[in-house]
Amino acid sequence: MPGKSTRQGRSSSLVTVLVALAANGLLAVAKTVAAVVTGSASMVAEAAHSWSDTGNEVFLLVAERRGSRPRDEAHPRGYGRATYIWSMVAAFGLFSAGAVVSVWHGLTELLGEPGRASYTANYIVLGVAFVLEGTSFVQATRQVHGAARRLQRSPVRYVAETSNPTLRAVFFEDFSALVGLLIAAAGIGLHQLTGHHEYDAAGSIVIGLLLAGVAIFLMRRNMDYLLGEAQGPEVRDHVLERLLDHRDVDRVTYLHLEFVGPQRLFVVAAVDLTGDDREPDLAVRLRRVETDIERNDDIEDAVLTLSLPSDPSLTPGFSRQPLTSN
């Protein structure tokens, strides 16, 4: 069963998603009204952005719910990978509903005749949006900084590499939303100053390209974890030290770690046990060590086998197989 720190991490992720959902839902309605009233292409892009983000948060809530179910006989390593699948669906939604619509509408406006222009409502909505998006981004940033501090990593590296896809999605979606608001404001402002609607249309296209880049990045990261991506050695060394600290483990000669969910690892290791027990007793002790290892917060399942006498020992810092968890 997940330990205390894992449950706290999931609870923080849930709060982060709920804050983002509330902010994006309110903004989607406000931006849509402003887009209809003012006819701004950049505001249409922002409305599409917020609607796609709102839908994505729903998918991320499903990801949190499906991925947090405890393991059972049918799924001995839990349901954590469902989190990556639903998060990838959310990222595809950001690409299709946000990026494609924004670029298409921007190109349509760029090649079409200029319509009516109204600016005040746009500026008001953009200002309110910046406050709400900023609130959601602060919540995501607070969670990122806390986790990065515990792992002694930079926040940027942590959020890019973390095995928590919902946190990464909310962080980058909120960040792109803030950048998108600045792009929209610039496009609308230049339209007002110059009288050329092309700036507004260009703002919509740039926002779409920004969303496409974020969506592709998120989809790739989820695919990496579904495929069992190998990363840096920090947590691998941490797990190796846990194994070596066990009273029944003399040495470790093989270690494989694989993500099976956010902060949840599947561990395969070859170990040499202390003492010189008979084979039946060795099997019992080996199962007991597996059970002890699985009591760690971030280990979902552990499978141990016996080392061959000729196998070289692994030590912390040995990077023959640098797999890690975040």
Same domain, 39 and 173: yes
Domain CATH number, residue 257: 3.30.70.1350
Same domain, 187 and 264: no
Q: Average pLDDT of 223-232?
A: 77
DSSP annotation string for 124-165? HHHHHHHHHHHHHHHHHHHHHHHHHHHHT--HHHHHHH-S-H
Q: Taking a C-beta distance cutoff of 8 angstroms, is the pair 277, 242 a contact?
A: no
Do 164 and 73 fall into the same domain? yes
Between 22-26, 53-57, 319-323, the lowest mean confidence (pLDDT) is in 319-323
- Is the domain of 25 the same as that of 108? yes
Per the DSSP assignment, residues forming a β-bridge with 265 are: 259, 299
**Choice among 43-47, 214-218, 228-232, 260-264 with the minimum mean pLDDT:** 228-232
Same domain, 238 and 185: no
For 208, the 3-state DSSP assignment is helix
Whether residue 57 is found in the same domain as residue 178:
yes
Residues 215 and 77 both lie in one domain: yes
Q: What is the CATH number of the domain that holds 70?
A: 1.20.1510.10
Beta pairing, strands 264-273 & 299-306: parallel
Last residue of one domain, picked from the residues 199, 226, 253: 226
3 state SS of 97:
helix
Distance separating alpha carbons of residues 83 and 264, to the nearest angstrom: 11
Residue 99's domain spans which residues? 4-226
Q: Which neighbouring-strand residues pair with 302? A: 267
- Helix, strand or coil, per DSSP, at residue 71: coil
Place of tokens 């912390």: 316
- Same domain, residue pair 77 and 210: yes
User: Is residue 183 domain-shared with residue 90, that is, in the same domain?
Assistant: yes
| Domain end (from 226, 245, 271) | 226
Give the residue from 198, 226, 254 where a domain finishes: 226
Does the pLDDT at position 322 exceed 50? no
Q: What is the pLDDT of residues 91-117, one digit of tens each?
A: 888 888 788 888 988 888 888 776 566
Asked if residue 283 and residue 182 are part of one domain, the reply reads no
User: Domain total for the chain?
Assistant: 2
Q: What is the mean pLDDT of the chain?
A: 83
**Contact criterion met (CB below 8 Å) for 268 and 301:** no
Torsion of CA 297, 299, 303, 304, to 10 degrees: -60
Same domain, 147 and 217: yes
Other Cβ atoms less than 10 A from the Cβ of 272: the count is 15
Q: Are residues 188 and 243 part of one domain?
A: no
Instruction: Return the closest-CA partner of residue 119 out of 191, 199, 27, 207.
Output: 191
Residue 317 belongs to some domain of the structure? no
Measured distance CA(42)–CA(48) in Å, rounded: 10
Share of the chain above pLDDT 70, in %: 90
Model-level pTM greater than 0.75? yes
Q: Give me the pLDDT at residue 235, please.
A: 77
| 182 located within any domain | yes
- Exposed (0-12), middle (13-18) or buried (19+): which is 62, by Cβ within 10 Å? middle
